[in-house]
Amino acid sequence: MKTQKTIQLGNEWLTINDCHEVARQFKIVQLLPKVKINLEKSRAILSNYIDKHVPVYGISTQFGGQVNLTDEKYNISDHPLYLKALEERQGDLIRSHTAGLGDESPEDSVRAAMLVRARCLSLGYSGVSAEPIKQLVNFLNYRIHPIVPKYGSIGASGDLIPLSHIASALCGHDIEVKFKNKKIKVQEAMQQTGISPLKLKGREGLALINGTSFMTGISSLAIYDLNRLFNQILSAIAMSLEALGVMDSAYEPLVHELKNHPGATKVNNYLLCAWHGSKLIRKLDSERKEFLSSYGASANNHHQNTRPLQDYYSLRSIPQGFGPFWENLNRSVKWVEREINSVNDNPVIDPESGKIHHAANFMGYYITDTCDILKIDISQASTWMHAILANLVHPRKNFGLPANLVERPAVYSGFRPYQILSASIAVQNRKLAQSQQSFTIPTEGDNQDVNSLGTHAAFDLKEAVSNLELITAIIFLAASQALDLRGIENASNHSRKIRNIIRRECPKLTSDRSPSEEIKKMINIMRRQ
């Protein structure tokens, strides 16, 4: 493996950017030696409980709702047999929960989940040795990717079923992985890389699967993508509003200072910077003077302005609408990064006090809440951007631009199919905005009588972000076309620069061609920026 800057598992705070670099750019992960100090402390505490046969969940008890059940082989005095029985039980737990079905989860999501689980265990509150963490790191660094079906998690007791598929691979069970772009048995991948199957000790099976790492990995990548996309959304909107000649008054800084929300101010400032130097943004003072001049010259003192003194809501209230989105996105980064760096196992072993706590840090409600709120914001943004597109293509709303943004609308369809496509995508995002928390359902003998459904929410967020990227690409293409028709020489430097980048691969639409291919090109342009 090539030597390069590493992501280190130790006391360092992991970010969503770290997850992106490991999951998608294959950055090397390193387990720092100092991690072993806390690992040894918590492992010694657990061993002491085991030696004394003190009841500990998942060690001397059954799992889940059968916590009150025990078997005599877990309480026998013959210590070697006792330990062997514990190890067998951990393996059985993983095998029994390797129960997922559905489409395969994306490789980057699986990689992110492995990194996040390694981070959780490395904190030293799970009573595991360094071996499970090393195995996760080996799989990441050698790019061995367990096949993890999409369905199975309800986000209570964490992501038991998806993480069991990963744990089964670590243990060398009869499971498939992707290695060197091929689907093979994990044993074959281990042979090729010289990795030995993980031998579970103590509670290491439970520790590998009893947490929020899968939903957190998925959501971390979705939020990374959304964070990058957000400024592109604002740029596409800025270009569109400029092409429509919006009124400057709605974007007066004082107005948004008085609104008293940082998100609105942030969005407003972005738009003002994007419009700097534009000759297309209308000035309310100039419009008023023109109105008064026309009014005075009119014989009957009756005058109707060619354009209203206030724009449509979708053009006038971007800061008020997208400001909350910006604030929620910033909060979501904080929440997900806290979850990435959390102890989300059960039980929790305190190296300082020597106590073992039976708790519920495996609950994924912070991830669910984050994803649900962002899905609502994405739904609103999708609908809003569709409304902006309607302003661009409709002659009764675009103030002088040709119908469907094409110079011969009687001959060509122009951007009409783009708008139909935009509606289709926006509708899907509106459906995805349904809160997953509202679907919670009791299961597992009513032991898990509430559950977060965080993994469902994370997968929905991932899809919604991808859809929003498509809508943004459509808006960029439509805005560039509108600016060309309006007169690109009058546009701001910001808009001209973006339009010129787009035009290198997507020429001005003068006759009909496949929107699908144009949008794919635009997506690639956006991802390179």
Q: Which residues neighbour 467 within 8 Å (Cβ) at sequence distance 6 or greater?
A: 378, 382, 425, 428, 429, 432
- Own/partner contacts of 293-302, CB < 8 Å, gap of 24 or more, are none
CA angle 146, 192, 97 (to 5 degrees): 25
- Distance CA(346)–CA(337), nearest Å, equals 20
Look up residue 104 and give its DSSP letter: E
Look-up of token digits 């002088």: 400
Q: Residues 293, 256: contact at Cβ < 8 Å?
A: no
Q: Which of 139, 209, 208, 214 is nearest to 178 (CA)?
A: 139
CA distances from 177 to 138, 143, 398, 399 (A): 14, 10, 53, 57
Q: 476 vs 46, 418, 481, 525, 527, CA distance in Å?
A: 58, 11, 9, 11, 13
CA distance 64 to 74: 17
Helices 493-503 and 454-486: crossing angle, nearest 10°? 100
Distance (Å) of CA 9 to CA 13, 30, 238 = 9, 6, 41
In this structure, what token pair is assigned to residue 329?
């996105």
User: Which residues are catalytic, by number?
Assistant: 57
**Are 246 and 311 contacting, i.e. CB atoms less than 8 angstroms apart?**
yes
3-state secondary structure 214-274: HHHHHHHHHHHHHHHHHHHHHHHHHHHHHHCCCEHHHHCHHHHHHHCCHHHHHHHHHHHHH
In DSSP terms, which residues pair with 8 in a beta bridge?
A: 30
Q: 362-399 burial, b for 16+ CB within 10 Å, e for fewer? A: bbbbbbbbbbbbbbbbbbbbbbbbbbbbbbbbeeeebe
